[in-house]
Chain A
Amino acid sequence: MNAIEVKGLHKSYGAVQAVRGIDLSIATGEIFALLGPNGAGKTTTVEILEGFRSRDSGDVSVLGFDPHDEGAGAREWRNRIGIVLQSTSDSGDLSVGETIEHFSGYYSNPRNVEEVINSVGLDEKAGSLIRKLSGGQRRRLDVALGIIGNPELLFLDEPTTGFDPEARRSFWALIQKLRSDGTTILLTTHYLDEAEALADRVGVINEGKIIEISTPIELGGRSTAQALVSWREGSHTKSLATDNPTAVVNKLTTQFNGEIPELTVTRPSLEDIYLKMIGVTHE
């Protein structure tokens, strides 16, 4: 069974159609990244799946449960999911350890508090009050609170905003570890390299619709796109788009009789492809 199943999802705010017919299936154990510019309907979609928002029409099943249901099943359902929201904060008068320990009490089978603190790299801050944490440390606390309940399904909404590069790498390692434990993860992010590093599949959403769902390697025909070979010839930089970069390089090797000055061979990055898909051209 799929962890998430969405069919024909629609949601409007007044005259604004935020979500205009989304279909989505996310398999159990998969890391799925949802990409899209601000206002594309990303947050609305995710918040409907998380049970924070109602929908106008469409079928939604998350771990076999309709997130809009508020009956006795809702607690059982929330016990199985973890949510890391985009912006959360609190009065900050509790310590990191106290907060995580407290939240662990909400769940039937929480993870070990100390392990979670270590896994997000807050071990040295366990005794610090939340209001004394930096932005990135607070974000790691958010992540800790999202995973403390040992969720089968984890929602991550732009989790690494405000992280330094090192913290992002160690966060990625944490997410990969969660995946290897069998956690399904729905990630929204602005960072294309993050999607590429983590996601099994990515979906690009724009103007309330999903434009494409694919693996990061194949998105937008990236894997078969022409490569760009460029090099220096005299004082000019020359470049050539080609389906056969190896042949071009071979030819150039002969031409230069050895080393080709400033040679690069590039394929479009995920970012190039993504920007093209949502209709933004590079400056």
Chain B
Amino acid sequence: MNKIPSTISLGIRRGGLEIRQFSRQRESVVFTLLFPVILLVIFGSVFTDTIAPNVTFSQYFVAGMIASGLVNTGFQALAITIPLERDFGALKRLRGTPMPASSYFIGKAILVSVSMVIQILMLLGFGTIFFGVDMPTDINKWITFTWLTLLGSACSTALGIAFSIVPKSGRGASAVVSPIVIILQFFSGVFLIYTQLPSWMQQFAALFPLKWLTQGMRSVFLPDSFATQEVAKSWENGKTFLILLVWLVVGIFFSVRKFKWDRD
């Protein structure tokens, strides 16, 4: 008798399958991967001003779009597609096999990470070539960028899986999830400059991870001199780390405890 494959190796198998499945859904590939770039092209073409010495709107916007991409590919995509899989009965079928829930979650995390990497490369590529976005030269900034992306992806994935229990049906999921994301994007300084928002909006946004991801990405892509223009007069990266970590734990807790395999 052979042993049942390990949770990790099944998770990697799931990841491969998720990527293959995703790559065959042309609409979602275009929407998920190209949409941030399209937004960059629109906003970068409309707002050509500088918002501070040596800081173009495009520079500000790229930081926001990368942060927001983490929320779109993780939280938004999963909270919409998982209820669909549940409606199909695909989750129930998986539940009846020896594949553990954690492997399913790992597979989703792999899918999110891979699409995030592609999205970041496209945003940075387009940004530098067409909109004069400057890449950071300081190695520390790239270290910040790396942990922000990893922690942000993990957090966004966990929260997307956790939130997938909220929509009653796959068809209605998008109507529940998308407005939340769009409102958070406006409130968190993705499309608009955060410091120019009313303070109630800022305080509301500060409860959720997107505001912190966006601010963290600004610390990577904007000059340090810009930090004084932030609400707290600094980048607050330590605080960002803690807040993302708390949301990650919350996401994992609800994913593991409350995940629904079956409609009803």
Task: Enumerate chain A interface residues (CB-CB to B < 8 A).
Answer: 50-52, 75-76, 78-79, 81, 83, 85, 87-91, 93-94, 98, 102-103, 105-109, 129, 145, 149
Contacts and interface: CB of A to CB of B under 8 A. Distances in A.
A116 B125 CA distance: 47
B247 to A, nearest CB: 26
B10 A106 contact: yes
Interface string B1-21: 111110000100100010011
Contact of A85 (B3, B25, B84, B89): B89
Interface residues of B, number: 27
B4 A88 contact: no
User: Among the interface residues A79, A89, A106, which one has the most CB atoms of the partner chain B within 10 A?
Assistant: A106
Interface of B: 1-5, 10, 13, 17, 20-21, 24-25, 84-85, 88-90, 92-93, 95-100, 261-262
Given A109-B1, A145-B93, 5 more contacts: A52-B92, A88-B88, A88-B92, A90-B90, A108-B4
A93 B93 contact: no
A106 B98 contact: yes
B110 to A, nearest CB: 14
Contacts of B92: 52, 85, 88
A85 B96 CA distance: 9
Contact of A88 (B13, B84, B93, B99): B93
B10 A107 contact: no
B262 A52 contact: yes
Contact of A106 (B85, B89, B99, B262): B99
Contacts of A102: 13, 17
A148 B261 CA distance: 21
Contacts of A81: 96
A222 to B, nearest CB: 35
A130 to B, nearest CB: 10
Contacts of B100: 75
A108 B10 contact: no
Contacts of A106: 4-5, 10, 97-99
Contact of B95 (A52, A91, A98): A52
Contact of B13 (A50, A87, A89, A105): A105
B13 A78 contact: no
Contacts of A98: 17, 20
The 7 A-B pairs at the shortest CB distance, nearest first, are namely A83-B96, A88-B89, A93-B24, A90-B90, A78-B98, A79-B98, A108-B2
B98 A94 contact: no
B4 A76 contact: yes
A75 B262 CA distance: 18
B4 A90 contact: no
B1 A89 contact: no
Contacts of A88: 88-90, 92-93
A80 B17 CA distance: 24
A76 B1 CA distance: 12
B254 to A, nearest CB: 17
B21 A91 contact: yes
A89 B262 contact: no
Contact of A105 (B1, B5, B25, B262): B5
Contacts of A145: 93
Nearest to A103: B97
A195 to B, nearest CB: 23
Contact of B97 (A76, A87, A93, A149): A149
Given A93-B21, A94-B21, A106-B10, A79 B4 contact: yes
Contact of A90 (B2, B85, B261): B85
A107 B98 contact: yes
A18 to B, nearest CB: 13
Contacts of A94: 17, 20-21, 24
Nearest to B95: A52
B18 to A, nearest CB: 11
B97 A78 contact: yes
A89 B88 contact: yes
5 contacts: A85-B96, A102-B17, A105-B10, A108-B3, A145-B93
A223 B100 CA distance: 48
B4 A91 contact: no
Nearest to A51: B96
